[in-house]
Amino acid sequence: MSAKKVIFYIAILAISLTAPFLLPDFRTQLATLWLMIIVALTWDMTGGQMGYNSLGNIFFYGTGMYVAAVIAIALVYDVSDYTDAAAAGGEIFKFTDTQYFTGMLLGIIGAGLFCAVTAVIIGYLTFGLRGPYFAIGTLGVAIAGGELVSNWEWVGGGQGITLPVYPGDFNVGKLYFYYLFAGTGIVLFIFLKWLYSTRFGEAINAIRDDEEKAEAMGLHTLRYKLTTWGMAAFFVGMVGGISAFQLIHFEPLETAYQTINLGIFMVVCVLLGGKGTLWGPVIGAILFHVIKEVTWNYFLGWQWVALGALIVVIVVFFQDGVMGWLMHRKPEWFGIRVEEKEPAVAGVNQ
Amino acid sequence: MSAIIEVQDVSKSFGGVVANKDISLSVEKGRITGLIGPNGSGKTTLFNSIVGYHPIDAGSIKFEGKEISKLPVQNIARLGLLRTFQQTRIYGAMNCVDNMLISLPHRKMGFAEAFGRHGKKDYNRADQLLDFVGLYEKRFLRAGSLSFGQQKLLEFAMALMNEPTGLLLDEPTAGINPTLINGLIDRLKRANTEFGITLFIIEHNMRVIMNMAEKIYCLAHGQLLAEGTPDKIQNDQRVIDAYLGAH
């Protein structure tokens, strides 16, 4: 890595770590920004890098929330007692600090693992679908997930679940969740940077460009697809778990399985930033989050119209996103160049 | 010489259309075998049947003595029997070098190895083969931005990268500039002699196929019409009639 790049990455890291102190009023906003970056990056793993446009990744976010909450509660209390009491508005369940943090840690990791396994199973059933059929099929999974959970009284039904509040100071709590999201995001980014540089990265790109050709060349396509979606779901499930504790209260249709909000936003972020690139989803998430907050503040009442218009503009005029536009203007930045032959290269079989 | 691909009484129909009927042929190991026939005579269908692209209705297909007619495409490819497509297929958004690297033989690669990177040897081999087909200068361009003929050459180089035992080529010279065709014939022959790859080629260009193949099969209306040496095929009245439409 060149010195310039090292400085660039250190600067980015420094901004990420100091941001909540530089903008103390926006700690929750910044945490949400990391959430957007994470779901955009994971969506791009299948959508951008592998060519499978899933509209159902939000399923893993919702499922992650529930799994994390259930694990945290079940470690201390009986889950159905807990949810029944919440519905009746009766008895208050207390968690000690140790119980709270152990539950959170195990809940978040458990959520990631559970979602990874679920993704492999759902993938096994849906990866036979291609193009728009895969998108609709996975959207169906997400909608069905929300409906099923909202009718399942053991996990609180349509009421959802209320988790204990962060035991320390309110502002420290905000910092705590910011770093949980930021930490996950940084780990995910480094992981993807490595993953896309391996043969695995090449293989999923090949599946995106021409899956039939990849099969004809003997690639283990299904294995690669399941692994990719499993890894994406692992991270989405984890941030779902973190969100559950950050939000304290969540319910199935609007918060957990929020198909038309976060479920669509993650796709828009990636399209805006540029599909199939590492930085595209990050840039897209930042731009989108800023635009979204501005419209929410200044066009209240019209925010959905403004967002809808933005989506239409991106899809019609700006399909390649910021990175795609850059790649078109400055191909040499991305190593796309004609290189004259070096005389040293001899024939094959030497 | 032993047969590497043995096709026995293979039939395939799509709805009411009989694309292949009771076809039997064999491809000798280490040789170049040709497959000709008018448009719609079932050549590509036969290729698709051999590589497992679709199930066959009847018959048996053996590769190196192993029955493969029930195996899916990927497993057959990993046995070392590869095909190129009539409508050239490459990975358009990836550059030529990546196209080559991902074509390394997957039969030799375990799952854990997928998380490794390519060694210098792999890059050198990719560069050499790209040089072999004359694409070295363009190796960092997106494969999708190459011309049709260049994509065809790239696809051929990718097939060589895979080190197959048998390679089925579906019209390798279609769409290629006539001045490049001689070079391509030379490279196909060298792939056969230097790398020891058995070639089975569908070709419409008679000059090309008569020049390369040692044995030629001719299909017409889904059935085997004639077989033999290029000389014999060229002078076979039934073959001439089939091409001129007397059938």
CB half-sphere exposure, A41, CA atoms < 13 A: 28
Classify residue A173: in a domain, yes or no. yes
Nearest Cα neighbor of B164 from B204, B124, B200, B203 is B200
Number of domains forming the structure of chain A: 1
Top-tier CATH class for B1-80+164-247: alpha beta
How far apart are the CA of B7 and the nearest CA of chain A, in angstroms?
20
How many beta carbons lie within 10 A of that of residue A292, not counting itself? 20
Q: Is the ipTM of this complex over 0.90?
A: no
| Contact list, B92 vs chain A (CB under 8 Å) | 209-210
Phi, psi of A53 (to 5 degrees): -80, 100
Chain B residues with CB under 8 Å of A347 CB are: 128, 131-132
**Domain assignments of chain B as residue spans, ordered by start:** 1-80+164-247, 90-163
Domain ranges, residue A68? 26-259
Q: Which of residues 31-90 of A touch B (CB under 8 A)?
A: none
Q: Tell me if A199 and B102 make a contact (CB, 8 A cut-off).
A: yes
Q: Which among A208, A219, A339 has CB closest to B74? A: A219
The segments of chain A whose pLDDT lies below 50 read: 343-350
pLDDT band of residue B1 (cuts 50, 70, 90) is low
Contact B236, B228 (CB under 8 A): yes
CB–CB of B111 and A203 under 8 A? Answer: no
| Residue A265 falls inside a structural domain | no
Does A169 map to a domain? yes
Q: How far does CA B64 lie from the centroid of its chain?
A: 17
Query: Cβ–Cβ of A216/B85 closer than 8 Å?
Result: yes
Question: What pLDDT band is residue B177 in, cutting at 50, 70 and 90?
Answer: confident
- Residue A72 near residue A163 (C-beta atoms within 8 A): yes
Mean of the per-residue pLDDT values for chain B?
90
Measured in angstroms, the CA of A275 and the nearest CA of chain B are apart by 12
- Would you state the pLDDT for residue B206? 86
Q: How far apart are CA A95 and CA A146, in angstroms?
A: 28
Closest CA to A204 of B93, B176, B13, B40: B93
CB atoms within 10 A of CB B27: 23
pLDDT at B241: 86
Residues near B237 by beta carbon (within 8 Å), at least 6 away in sequence: none
B167 - beta bridge partners? B82, B199
Q: Is residue A61 part of a domain?
A: yes
Alpha carbons B161 and B79: distance in angstroms, whole number: 15
- Say if CB A274 and CB A321 are below 8 A apart: yes
Cα–Cα distance, A219 to A277 (Å, whole number): 22
Chosen from B47, B49, B54, B74 to mutate, greatest number of chain A CBs within 10 A: B74
How far B81 CA sits from the closest chain A CA (Å)? 9
**Residue of B51, B114, B128 with shortest CB distance to A199:** B114
Q: B231 burial class (0-12, 13-18, 19+ CB within 10 angstroms)?
A: exposed
CA nearest to B195 within chain A: A349
Which DSSP state fits A222? H
Separation of alpha carbons B143 and A165, rounded Å: 54
* Helix, coil or strand: residue B247: coil
What is residue B93's three-state secondary structure? coil
CA distances from B187 to B135, B182, B229 (A): 13, 9, 22
Tell which residue, B92, B102, B89, has the closest CA to residue B142. Answer: B92
Conformation bin of residue B7: beta by default, left when phi > 0, alpha when psi is -120 to 50? beta
Look up the pTM and report it: 0.90
Q: Does A339 touch chain B (CB under 8 A)?
A: yes
Q: State pLDDT tens for residues B199-224.
A: 999 998 888 898 899 999 999 988 99
